[in-house]
Amino acid sequence: MLLRSLPRSIALCTAACLLSQCEKPAATGVPAPNALATVSGQAITEKDLVEEAEWRRSNNQAVPPAPELLKEMANRLALVEKAKQSGIADDPETRRRVQSVIIARLREKQLDVELAKVAVTDEELKATFDSRSAEFARKPLDRFAILFQAADAKASDARKAEAKKRLEDALALADANPGGGEGRGATTGGFGPVSVQHSEDQVTRYRGGDVGWIESDAKETRLPANVIDAGRALEKGKRSGVLEATDGFYVIMKTDARDGSARPMEEVADNLRQQLLREKRRALEEQFLADAFQLSKASINADAAAKVTLPVTPAPAPAAPELSPP
């Protein structure tokens, strides 16, 4: 029951003791003159007792009478000693948990305090926007509609000829009955009702073949490269002829186009401020790590580490950075 009932303060102190191996002067057989108790050579003094009581009071925990509290503290140190003797303190999982507790406290006491002070001034925001205004500008957009008949690369010549002929017949119908009010979905233009009966693209057939807006400089789209290139070369309102791609035959129409334009700072200010805050905080964390690494006089032998074979696994999803040497 004692192990289960240890308060969080005891658990944290136990962790700290395990990490430091509770390096205290060895017992000499003579109790320290101011010791209220001694466990494995480590004295518990009146000062220790008062500090523990103050900690419990400030954390809304009950403070028992002094003899009872002293007994709890002695039990804690006895458990630490037992853990050391059993080898738990040298277990990799224990060391990592203990290190995580201490790092969390370091962040709370030092780094988080500084991170909370980070701010982005209006002057910094405007200067950044002015220097990156091209990045925030609205890009030119094109809107397309398509007709599609499937015929993959393994299809016979006869199958391909049939698919192409169906698309040519669909074009004749579309030219005779231009889209403009029929169909349903995001647009009523494009190929109109012809796409319902004569296009096999399930995403667009019930909305006149409408593909939607695509940035004029987008490197990848859902359409084959030769089809999108042909569409971009068209004038607004014009269509291509039948185009062959690896998955079948297409006809593409440019139904609309928009030029790029500048965007006012007000539209991007909130997102840009948050981005700058993240960058500032990241820089502060990196400097905090670098200072800690330098202070510890740490060194890394990268060449020796490169010779160690590990069961390398993919990195997990990004999470909050952990304080570790750079």
Determine the pLDDT at residue 15: 53
Measured at the alpha carbon of residue 142, what is the angle toward residues 137 and 145, in degrees to the nearest 5?
155
What average pLDDT does this structure show over 179-192? 55
Determine the pLDDT at residue 177: 73
Domain boundaries, the chain: 2-105, 118-137+262-296, 138-258
Decide if 250 contacts 239 (C-beta within 8 A). no
Determine the pLDDT at residue 319: 56
Residue 320 pLDDT exceeds 60: no
Q: Model confidence over 85-118: pLDDT tens digits?
A: 999 988 999 999 999 999 999 999 999 999 999 9
Lowest mean pLDDT among 102-111, 169-178, 191-200: 169-178
Query: Which tokens belong to 254?
Result: 């440019």
| H or E segment to which residue 42 belongs | strand 42-45
Paired sense of beta strands 35-39 and 42-45, if any: antiparallel
Decide if 149 contacts 165 (C-beta within 8 A). no
What average pLDDT does this structure show over 243-249? 93
Query: Which tokens belong to 294?
Result: 């330098």
Q: DSSP labels for 285-323?
A: HHHHHHHHHHHTT----HHHHHT---------S--PPPP
Q: What is the C-alpha R_g of the chain?
A: 35
> End-to-end CA distance of the chain, in Å?
43
The amino acid at residue 248 is G
Residue 30 pLDDT exceeds 70: no
From residue 151, how far is each of 55, 160, 196, 303, 312 by CA, in Å? 76, 6, 18, 55, 43
Coil, helix or strand at residue 63: coil
Write out the CATH class of domain 138-258. Answer: alpha beta
